[in-house]
Amino acid sequence: MDSNRKTAIIVGVLFLIATVVLVIGGVFSLCIYESNYLTAVSANENQVILGALCELISTSAIVGIPIAMFPILKKYNEGLALGYVGTRIFEGLTIFLNTFALLAILSLSKEFVSVTSPDVSYFQTSGALLLAARDWGSILVDFSFPIGAVIFNYLLYKTKLTPRWLAVLGIIGGALWLTTAPVRMFGFSPEWIDFLAAPIGLQEMILAAWLIIKGFNASAVDCLSNKT
């Protein structure tokens, strides 16, 4: 197995980890959005910790994808390849900070239930600030992730490393999801907006499977190698 085939498999697996594990982590952490989260989070401590671990694992995969792809993509356009690395590192760092906020909410909840006569207003204010920080962090992720997706899939389209229809789906899906970030930033979050994540989510899962099973287009790899 040559190095490019190994890279394709690694990247495909990382895409699966980045998406699936992050979704699982979000499910584990749902209790922070309950109305009584100050007690609910502490009551679900192990679940919340598992959610935090999932987010950290996903962060590692998110950062690993562009690092693994950089040696290949830089042969076509080093500037765009670096841009992709930058957007995904920013995304990973933001998710890491969100995880820190999640664990801080857990500590706050444990303190709330352990105090005999807690100052409810203090705990509510602190909790609201931590939840707001996590929400704003999610919006920042919704800027960096789709920008990175558009750059990455543009590079895939131009290099023909994967089928062009798959790259086009990624560009469209990334652009659609990018439109949701400014909408949410101004406080609008209609229920239907989450459906705009479906195209890029589907594309990444198809891409992951393609890379694991098929790998990169050999002729495209050879063409890139001849450019160096």
> Of the candidates 18, 134, 19, 158, which has an alpha carbon nearest to the alpha carbon of residue 79?
158
Q: What is the pTM of this model?
A: 0.91
Every domain of the chain and the residues it spans = 3-227
pLDDT averaged per 10 residues, the chain (length 228) = 88 96 94 90 94 96 96 93 97 96 95 83 92 93 95 96 96 94 82 86 96 91 76
R_g (Cα) of the chain, nearest Å: 20
> Of the candidates 59, 37, 54, which has an alpha carbon nearest to the alpha carbon of residue 104?
37
How confident is the model at residue 80, as a pLDDT?
A: 96
Measured CA to CA, the distance from residue 68 to residue 2 in angstroms comes to 14
